[in-house]
C-alpha cells in the first residue's frame, strides 16, 4: 500500500485503485482488513457519532439516512469488484448488524435476532450483491471499443483452449461471483449480458435476484 498526494491531500493507493477518503480524518484513522486489504475502519466513525447522533432525539429515518450516506460508503467502497468467500461475507454482515444494533440501542443481552433488526430498519442484507450486479450491467452497456468491454466479452465467450490459471492466483474470481449472484435468476453470463443492455429491465432483475 502506498500514499499519493492529490491537490495537497494524501490518498491511500491499493495497486491502481484509490480509496477516495482523506487520511486526515481522525474518526476513521484505524485500519480494518478485508480480504488482506487494509480499509478505513468503521468502528471509530460509529463511536464518534454516538453522543451527537445515535443517542440523540432525531428520528430513526434520519439516523439510517446518515448511516447509509456516511458510514456504509467507508467499508463498501469498491465492493462492486469484491470476490468474497463465505467467511468474509459473514464478517461484513456481522459488522453491518453491529452498526444497526448500535443505532437502535439494542444491547447484546437483549437477545434480539438479526432478522428483527433488519425488519425494524428496513436495511437489505445483500447490498454488496446488488452493487455487484449493477456494476456488471454497467460494464455490459459500455462502449464496445473500451478495453474493459472487450475484456468482459472475451471472458464470457470463454478462455482459450489449454489456458490454465496460475497456481498462486485465487480460485474465486469476479465472474464466478457474478455467476453465483445470477443463480436465483437461472441466468448464465451470456444471457445476463444481453438482458443488461436494457437498463430499466436489468434493474428489475437485480431487485428480483437480491430480494430472493
Write down the domain spans for the chain: 2-125, 130-158+170-211
CB 113: neighbour CB atoms within 10 A?
Answer: 9
Kindly state the average pLDDT of the residues 28-57: 63
User: Rounded CA gap, 22 and 25, in Å?
Assistant: 6
Helix crossing, 147-157 with 127-140: angle to 10°?
Answer: 100
Most confident of 7-21, 87-101, 169-183: 87-101
Strands 9-14 and 17-19: antiparallel
Whether residue 22 has pLDDT greater than 50: no
- The answer to whether 153 touches 60, Cβ cutoff 8 Å, is no
User: What whole-number percentage of the chain has pLDDT above 90?
Assistant: 13
Q: Locate the DSSP E strands across 36-121.
A: 37-40
Q: How far apart are CA 7 and CA 148, in angstroms?
A: 28
Cα–Cα distance between 157 and 191 in angstroms, integer?
11
pLDDT category of residue 177 using cuts at 50, 70 and 90: confident
DSSP string, 86-133: HHHHHHHHHHHHHHHHHHHT--GGG---HHHHHHHHT--S-HHHHHHH
pTM of structure: 0.67
Confidence of residue 170 (pLDDT cuts 50, 70, 90): low
CA angle 31, 70, 127 (to 5 degrees): 85
Q: Which residue has the cell 430499466?
A: 200
Query: What average pLDDT does this structure show over 10-24?
Result: 36
Q: How many beta carbons lie within 10 A of that of residue 117, not counting itself?
A: 19
Q: What are phi and psi of 165, to 5 degrees?
A: -75, 140
Please check the confidence at residue 80 and state whether its pLDDT lies above 80.
yes
Do 30 and 20 contact (CB within 8 A), yes or no?
no
CA R_g for the chain: 20
Amino acid at each position: 500500500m502506498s500514499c499519493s498526494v492529490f491537490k495537497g491531500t494524501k490518498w491511500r493507493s491499493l495497486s491502481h485503485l484509490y480509496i477516495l477518503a482523506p487520511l486526515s480524518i481522525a474518526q476513521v484513522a484505524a485500519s480494518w482488513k478485508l480480504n488482506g486489504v487494509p480499509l478505513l475502519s468503521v468502528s471509530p466513525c460509529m463511536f464518534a457519532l454516538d453522543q451527537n447522533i445515535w443517542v440523540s432525539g432525531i428520528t430513526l429515518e434520519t439516523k439510517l439516512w446518515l448511516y447509509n450516506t456516511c458510514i456504509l460508503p467507508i467499508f463498501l467502497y469498491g465492493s462492486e469488484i469484491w470476490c468474497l468467500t463465505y467467511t468474509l461475507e459473514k464478517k461484513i454482515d456481522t459488522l453491518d448488524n453491529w452498526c444497526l444494533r448500535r443505532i437502535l440501542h439494542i444491547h447484546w443481552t437483549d437477545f434480539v435476532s438479526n432478522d428483527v433488526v433488519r425488519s425494524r430498519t428496513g436495511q437489505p442484507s445483500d447490498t454488496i450483491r446488488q452493487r455487484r450486479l449493477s456494476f456488471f450491467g454497467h460494464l455490459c452497456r459500455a462502449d464496445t471499443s473500451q478495453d474493459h468491454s472487450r475484456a468482459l466479452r472475451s471472458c464470457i465467450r470463454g478462455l482459450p483452449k489449454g489456458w490454465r490459471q496460475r497456481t498462486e492466483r485465487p480460485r474465486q474470481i469476479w465472474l464466478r461471483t457474478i455467476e453465483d449472484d445470477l443463480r436465483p435468476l437461472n441466468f448464465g453470463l451470456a444471457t445476463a449480458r444481453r438482458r443488461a443492455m436494457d437498463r430499466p429491465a436489468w434493474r428489475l432483475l437485480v431487485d428480483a435476484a437480491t430480494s430472493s
